Structure 1
Amino acid sequence: MTSTELEAPSRTRLEQLKEHFAPLFYDIAEGASERDSNRSLPREQIKALASAGFGALRVPETHGGAGATLPELFALLTLLASADPNITQALRGHFAFVEDRLVAAEGPERDAWLDRFAAGELVGNSWTEIGSVALGEVNTRVAPDGNGGFTVTGTKYYSTGSIFADWIDAYAERTDTGQRVIAVVKARQPGVVLEDDWDGFGQRTTGTGTATFAGAAVEPANLIDFDTRFKYQTAFYQAVLLAVLAGSAAAAERDFAAELRARKRTFSHGAAERASDDPQLLQVIGEVSAVAFVANATVDSMAEALEDAYQAAVAVRAGELGVAEEEAANDAAELASAQAQIALTPLVTNALSHAFDALAASATSTAKNLDRHWRNARTAGNHNPWVFKARLVGENAVHGWALPRVWAIGASAGSPTGS
């Protein structure tokens, strides 16, 4: 190589990871519409991702993972969501639990979990109770079994991803101390029943449904004090839903553009001889493309705020930063999460509805299944209602009040119980 030649820049870790997972993402996208139509769970697709190391993206390289940053993780989650947003959401609980273990105190128990993630083991989510539970109460109980272990008993709904997982992250209360804990339960054991009974019109194959624990065993080492949970958890959970929205927008841009490109018929009062050349229809696709761009950029910005919160937690653990600075980083992440949710939910859902204006009545064919993009975005957007977040962000702007970082759902005093 002469002095006038330039060395090719080395590929970034994100570029390498994108290349590594691209074939899997392609295969996932190829079957996404059919799975949605048939409500067929993506068991094999999630298994393949886990085997390829997707669940260990955040695990340090020293423990066999990819050592990805949060912006790198969310870039990949958004790409996965453009292939199938159901799978991104199905892995939401897993990546949240990984994050919690990353900021936990170093030691053998933390190392054991990092090794499990590197081996391809996945964790599902099981927190929400429905029915007669009052606001803030937890009916799921963890009790000593008399032999040095514990058992978990209760019923959870919205147990997203648990049906695919090796472990279940269950929120419960101890009968002996009254302490709120995370009980990490082996998914495949007597006393655990997982049902795919989610009946939403979108996000049909996330594996969301009922998890029933009837004296399921849990080891003492796998009872985690809830108060030690990573402080930016609600912002993290919301960021995964933002990746679902961004991926849905990108998928809609791809599929609606392909439909318009292939369309042969047009109308006598159209603005071009071919629909694919009609400036009005091209404008619609352009608007959808712009929304996909904004959504992706918003997820990137949100992920940077989460990375700041993570780095603050690590610095506090190392004694390099004070708690006040960490709290400020967590508050900033929560605010960014809420602002992003407020902006993206109506932006993406409206854009995906508008996308149909680029096509004609044939676009509503159930065989084409283009409506799944709107249904998926609308369903993801209904989680943690953004209208409440808008009020909280307004309070922050006017009064300087920090947003709550933990909240609950249930029947308030004097209200009838129900879903």
Structure 2
Amino acid sequence: MNEIVTAPAPDFTGPLDPASPALEALFGVIGEGAAHREFERILPHEPLALIRKAKLGALRLPVEAGGAGASFRDLFSVTLRLAAADANVAHILRNHFTFVERYARIPKDETQKRWRREVAAGAIVGLANTETNAKVVGGGTFTTVLQPDGDGYRISGQKYYSTGTLFSDLVLVRVATPEGKLASVILPVARAGIQLVDDWDGIGQRLTGSGTTVFHNVRVEPEEVVRDGETVGYGTAYSSTLPQLYLTTVNAGILRAVLADAKAVLKRRTHTFFFAPAEVPTEDPLLQQTIGEIASNAFAAETLVLATADALDVADRLRTAGAPTDAVTEAAHEAALRAARSKVVIDDLVLRSASQLFDVGGASAAHRSLNLDRHWRNARTLASHNPRAYKARLLGRFEVDGTPLPSSSFF
């Protein structure tokens, strides 16, 4: 009797190189259960455990610090692939990568060095920023305020849209200082007084843990506070371009998944429309055309994302080399322009393609059990962040009179 040989399970121990076959295998494992998890609302704790093991969150850390030394192009290429496998899991890491860039990749003190070590070991960082009762037009302060407590502080407050925090080891909390300035507080999610509430009920991106985080008189040590400054954290010009492009990249990944599902749906069809020009669905020129349009949309979306990532790399190289501030700001503004332009185009492409998927599959593709509608719901939810109309308006103003994009918040 021939012995049955079982292939060894892939080793996902990281940090994995962006081009590693093990990384592609990891995305395959995550993608296998994505539709089922979304259908049954099973929170992706297991995929996040694999991501910790793979040290995926350390992609941008230097190799000597335990990371993969990835460029921005590498980071967004990986994000595209992960989002195609599971848009929820990819979205969960958005705030993590933003934290790494702002506070850990190039540490400025011993505390930031500690945060970098934790990220290198696999720790994931979430965010608690938005306060639903806050007046946000033109910016403003937070009701979550640092209250002096001996040699440290206490905070109490409630945050919403805490994407990723439900699955994280650390959470970055945006607060007001006693002087009315803005700051970030980075805390372990297990600290006494922090309550994570899974109450996100969006039509899409249902598994991102984007619900409520409550702080009940939580202790904050002095070294856990980072006050905003012109070259620190949220105060750095165009430091929000990364999280803006990240959302658009997840949508580009969804478009890649739409293409894969559209081809699979067409290939398994056994009958076609009454007036179809061909008896075999895969030979129907109209359905072939639709697949071709979706494929072209996916190509355009991915090309825009990577072109913007290249601009981020240019700005990063200038900043690292100590180039003059004006040169760095100009390069960062170019990246912000590309990110905004990409969103205006890609949001439209992915929503259109997610609808075209049903043109390929017909009524049978609408079965709830197939869960193909998740692509449109997820893309629509992501596109609702910082609506494209506001981006397009400010892009138009730049083209008309040269007014630069705002240097903070949604750019």
Normalising by structure 2, report the TM-score.
0.91
Secondary structure in 1 aligned to 2:240? helix
CA contact (8 A) 1:88 1:240 kept: no
User: For 1:134 and 1:378, how far apart are their aligned partners in 2?
Assistant: 22
Structure 2 counterpart of 1:17: 19
The 5-angstrom pairing of residues 37-48 of structure 1 reads 37-48=39-50
User: For 1:323 and 1:396, how far apart are their aligned partners in 2?
Assistant: 21
Structure 2 counterpart of 1:415: none
Does 2:368 align with 1:332? no
Query: What amino acid sits opposite 1:306 in the alignment?
Result: L
Query: Cα distance, 1:89 vs. partner?
Result: 0.8
User: For 2:136 and 2:60, how far apart are their aligned partners in 1?
Assistant: 36
| Unpaired stretches in structure 2, ≥5 consecutive residues | 1-14
Structure 1 counterpart of 2:144: 140
Does 2:119 align with 1:152? no
Relative to 1, partners in 2 of residues 1:107 and 1:140: Cα closer, same or farther, differing over 3 Å?
closer
Does 2:309 align with 1:273? no
Secondary structure in 2 aligned to 1:124? strand
Does 2:174 align with 1:165? no
1:232-291 residue CA offsets vs partner (Å, 9 max, x unmatched): 322111111111111100001101110110110113311111112111111111111111
Query: Cα distance, 1:17 vs. partner?
Result: 3.4
User: For 1:94 and 1:15, how far apart are their aligned partners in 2?
Assistant: 18
The 5-angstrom pairing of residues 24-39 of structure 1 reads 24-39=26-41
Query: Cα distance, 1:406 vs. partner?
Result: 1.8
Structure 2 counterpart of 1:380: 382
Of the candidates 352, 355, 364, which is equivalent to residue 353 of structure 1? Answer: 355
| Unpaired stretches in structure 1, ≥5 consecutive residues | 1-12, 409-419
User: For 1:100 and 1:389, how far apart are their aligned partners in 2?
Assistant: 23
1:29-83 residue CA offsets vs partner (Å, 9 max, x unmatched): 1111111112211111012111111011111111111111110011001100000
CA contact (8 A) 1:185 1:217 kept: no
Secondary structure in 1 aligned to 2:126? strand
Of the candidates 236, 239, 242, which is equivalent to residue 236 of structure 1? Answer: 242
User: For 1:279 and 1:165, how far apart are their aligned partners in 2?
Assistant: 48
Does 2:284 align with 1:282? no
Query: Cα distance, 1:20 vs. partner?
Result: 2.4
Structure 1 counterpart of 2:3: none
Structure 2 counterpart of 1:417: none
Query: Cα distance, 1:219 vs. partner?
Result: 2.0
Relative to 1, partners in 2 of residues 1:134 and 1:283: Cα closer, same or farther, differing over 3 Å?
closer
User: For 2:396 and 2:80, how far apart are their aligned partners in 1?
Assistant: 28
User: For 1:38 and 1:328, how far apart are their aligned partners in 2?
Assistant: 47
Does 2:268 align with 1:262? yes
1:74-121 residue CA offsets vs partner (Å, 9 max, x unmatched): 100110000001111111000000011256554423321211111111
Secondary structure in 1 aligned to 2:359? helix
User: For 1:333 and 1:84, how far apart are their aligned partners in 2?
Assistant: 26
Query: Cα distance, 1:15 vs. partner?
Result: 7.1
Relative contact order higher in (CA < 8 Å, ≥ 6 apart): 1
CA contact (8 A) 2:62 2:105 kept: no
Normalising by structure 1, report the TM-score.
0.90
User: For 1:73 and 1:196, how far apart are their aligned partners in 2?
Assistant: 28
Structure 1 moving runs of 4+ over 4 Å: 13-16, 102-105
The 5-angstrom pairing of residues 5-404 of structure 1 reads 17-102=19-104, 104=106, 106-133=108-135, 135=137, 136-146=140-150, 148-175=151-178, 177-227=179-229, 228-229=232-233, 230-316=236-322, 321-404=323-406
Secondary structure in 1 aligned to 2:368? coil
Q: Cα RMSD over matched residues? A: 1.7
Relative to 1, partners in 2 of residues 1:73 and 1:16: Cα closer, same or farther, differing over 3 Å?
closer
Identity of aligned residues (%): 37
